[in-house]
């Protein structure tokens, strides 16, 4: 829940000193850099209050240069996003988008008062962060139309949680303002990628957390997201434009960080796939997670490469499990069995006997022992520790294995009896026919009567 009072960046005397009547709409503070950076621009749909800040290609967010986003492979991003439509996009024409709003609930009552856009300016070879600020809600229609024109020129959209919030909200506001529909673009939501690659080791996948833990940059004196709506409402009441400074900086940092994340995932993972030397910002377990995503995308060659790299770099049980699942998908059950065994041994050794991953591995091993290795005893003993199956299915599997163990024992006993019986051999006789006799039996006595009968028949003739 957001704070009901302005944050420390807003002087508390502004509310008590707020004038009444016509003077209430005038600035009560000293000049802010916002008034110099933002300018009014006339559009066919009204005036927008806009700021454009160029960012050189050499700029870095932590350990990642934003220029790497230009070298990113869209097919890698499409794989990570599980969205094939992104594979053919031109990343030099990508539109990065982030908004700051009057609330976090969404719906028709929530208004995006600050629109942050990012794009590559090929003419000047630099990135541009463009921000549109609503001084009054009457300027919203012009802002939405400006966004529509920018989106029409883009090849794809890049956001962080934009599918669920920002882009969905902007489409709603476009309808509310009776504007033309926003274009339908391939949409890379980096939050989905971040969760797939890092949620196994990070408690939070918020953008600021990713900046700190993955990119290696920590924001200083950043505004709390829960306070942003209160700050804007303070500005609407008092026209204290200086109060918006931390919000505008926060929005700009969000856009620039998305540049860096596209480079991290799309360029560095591509370099690793091609065998190039690079200092990985990703942990070994992140590479194992990338292998899992690639397998889901049915890109088994790339998945195997990521899995091999994760195992070599010490991903442990997670890496072996990822490689086992890829081997299973490729039909190499022997390799899958070996890696599942390694993964289970490492988890059991770490004391994670009741961990969900351990239960899953036991079930996979039991299946391979039963159907591939035909080692029914091993399969049954593996199930003893418990699996992810329901109690009914677990009991059914145990009973089936017990039946197979007993049947196998009977076949083994029957085979022992057969092996102890005297062997028979086939002996050649006259012509093409052969006669079978037990070892040591006199065959000549059995063939003699046949010759005498043949002689009698000739005499009778």
| Digit-coded pLDDT (tens) for 336-372 | 999 999 999 999 877 776 788 999 999 999 999 999 9
| Digit-coded pLDDT (tens) for 19-70 | 344 334 444 444 688 888 999 999 888 999 999 999 999 999 999 999 999 9
Residue with token string 């926060």 = 250
Count other Cβ atoms within 10 Å, centred on residue 218: 11
| Digit-coded pLDDT (tens) for 233-288 | 999 999 999 999 999 999 999 999 999 999 999 987 886 665 554 446 889 999 99
Report pLDDT for 44: 87
Domains, in order of start, for the chain: 13-273 (3.30.420.10), 283-352 (1.25.40), 357-414 (no CATH)
């Amino acid at each position: 829940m957001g704070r009901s009072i302005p944050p420390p960046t807003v002087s508390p005397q502004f509310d008590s000193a707020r004038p009444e009547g016509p003077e209430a709409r005038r600035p009560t503070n000293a000049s802010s850099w916002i008034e110099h950076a933002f300018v009014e621009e006339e559009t066919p749909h009204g005036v927008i209050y806009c700021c454009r800040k160029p960012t050189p290609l050499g700029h870095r967010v932590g350990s990642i240069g934003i220029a790497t986003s230009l070298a990113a492979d869209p097919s890698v991003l499409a794989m990570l996003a599980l969205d094939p439509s992104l594979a053919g996009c031109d990343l030099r024409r990508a539109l990065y988008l982030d908004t700051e709003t009057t609330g976090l609930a969404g719906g028709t009552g929530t208004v995006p008062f600050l629109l942050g856009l990012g794009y590559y300016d090929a003419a000047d070879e630099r990135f541009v962060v463009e921000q549109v600020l609503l001084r009054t809600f009457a300027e919203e229609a012009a802002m939405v139309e400006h966004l529509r024109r920018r989106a029409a020129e883009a090849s794809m959209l890049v956001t962080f949680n934009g599918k669920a919030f920002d882009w969905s909200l902007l489409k709603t506001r476009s309808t509310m303002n009776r504007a033309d529909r926003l274009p339908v673009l391939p949409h890379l939501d980096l939050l989905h990628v971040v969760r797939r690659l890092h949620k196994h080791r990070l408690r939070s996948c918020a953008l600021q957390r990713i900046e700190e833990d993955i990119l290696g940059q920590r924001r200083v004196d950043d505004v709390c997201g829960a306070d942003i709506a209160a700050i804007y409402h303070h500005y609407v009441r008092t026209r204290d434009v200086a109060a918006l400074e931390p919000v505008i900086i926060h929005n700009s940092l969000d856009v620039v960080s998305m540049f860096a994340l596209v480079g991290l995932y799309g360029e560095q993972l591509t370099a690793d796939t091609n065998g190039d030397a690079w200092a990985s910002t990703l942990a070994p377990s992140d590479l194992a997670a990338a292998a899992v995503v690639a397998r889901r995308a049915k890109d088994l060659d790339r998945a195997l490469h990521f899995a091999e790299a994760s195992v070599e770099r010490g991903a442990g049980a997670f890496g072996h499990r990822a490689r086992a699942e890829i081997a299973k998908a490729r039909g190499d059950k022997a390799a899958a069995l070996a890696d599942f065994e390694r993964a289970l041994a490492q988890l059991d050794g770490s004391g994670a006997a009741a961990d969900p991953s351990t239960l899953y591995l036991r079930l996979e091993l039991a299946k391979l022992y039963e159907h591939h290795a035909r080692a029914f005893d091993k399969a049954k003993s593996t199930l003893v520790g418990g699996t992810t199956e329901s109690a009914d299915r677990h009991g059914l599997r145990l009973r089936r294995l017990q039946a197979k163990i007993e049947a196998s024992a009977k076949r083994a006993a029957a085979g022992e009896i057969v092996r102890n019986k005297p062997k028979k051999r086939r002996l050649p006789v006259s012509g093409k026919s052969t006669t079978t006799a037990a070892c040591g039996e006199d065959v000549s006595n059995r063939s003699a009567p046949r010759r005498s009968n043949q002689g009698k028949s000739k005499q009778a003739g």
